[in-house]
Amino acid sequence: MTTLYIVLGALAVLVLWVIAAYNGLVRLRNRAQEALSDIDVQLKRRYDLIPNLVESVKGYMAHERGVLENVTKARTAAMQAGGDPLQRDKAESQLSNTLKTLFAVSENYPDLKANANFLDLQRELADTENKIQASRRFYNTMVMDLNTRIQTFPTNFIASSFGFAAQKFFETTNANEREAVKVQF
């Protein structure tokens, strides 16, 4: 009779461990999906700010129309990239580069640089870029935690039994962004 209680007790502990491991994997997967959604929220915020920025700049930079058109085209391309958010990096990088060009050209317009609306929008975009980077880092942290749990013993048995798969990290595909910044005086 004692042996039966020991076997039932061990079986109960094993079942509880499987339940806890499964729930932990689900929690990590959901946190990774939430983090990916946070990236989308910040990208949407950036898309919403860009038309306001372009409109505030138009009056000052009438003959810099090409820069404004490039920003608008890059924004449209980034919004339509769709699909896997990790594959949209090229369009997002292009958008970031055109915004940098816009801000560089704006340096030639002292009245524009002093315009409160332009400065507010520029600050908002800078803040949004920082939030996008933070969201990407958080996503990568969640993916690392999930992938570690999926690949380590003994949870790897639970993960493979219930179809949990390793997730991809958010990485830039733009080689220029991987290079160190060169500062010249």
pLDDT values of the chain reduced to their tens digit, one per residue, 185 residues = 899 999 999 999 999 999 999 999 999 999 999 998 888 888 888 888 888 888 877 776 666 777 778 888 888 888 888 766 666 777 888 888 888 888 877 777 776 666 777 788 888 888 988 998 999 999 999 999 999 999 999 999 999 999 999 998 887 665 555 454 443 43
Report the pLDDT value the prediction gives residue 29, as an integer from 0 to 100.
Answer: 95
Tell me the Cα Rg of the chain.
Answer: 24
Residue 185 CA to residue 86 CA, distance in Å, equals 36
Helix axes 116-151, 2-58, angle to 10 degrees: 160
Residue 5 Ramachandran class (φ > 0 left, ψ -120 to 50 alpha, else beta): alpha
Domain limits for position 41: 22-172
* pLDDT at position 91: 80
**Would residue 81 count as lying in a domain?**
yes
Asked if the structure places residue 185 within a domain, the reply is no
pTM above 0.75, yes or no: no
Distance CA 20, CA 25 (A): 9
Residue pair 105/64 in contact by the 8 Å Cβ criterion = yes
Residue 157 falls inside a structural domain: yes
pLDDT tens profile 122-161: 888 889 889 989 999 999 999 999 999 999 999 999 999 9
pLDDT at residue 114, as a whole number = 63
118: exposed, middle or buried (Cβ count in 10 Å: 0-12, 13-18, 19+): buried
Sign of CA dihedral 30, 31, 35, 38: positive
1 within some domain: no
Cα dihedral 142, 127, 93, 31, rounded to 10, equals 20
177 lies in some domain: no
- Which residues are within 8 A (CB) of 31 and not within 5 positions of it... i.e. 6 or more apart? 142, 145, 146
Output the domain CATH number for residue 65. 1.20.1440.20
- Is residue 97 a part of any domain in this protein? yes
154 DSSP 8-state letter:
T
pLDDT value of residue 63: 61
Count of domains for the chain: 1
SS3 for 39-83 is HHHHHHHHHHHHHHHHHHHHCCCHHHHHHHHHHHHHHHHHHHCCC
Residue 149 lies in a domain: yes
Backbone angles phi, psi at 101, to 5 degrees: -65, -45
Question: For residues 45 and 39, is the Cβ–Cβ distance under 8 A?
Answer: no
Q: Has residue 36 been placed in a domain?
A: yes
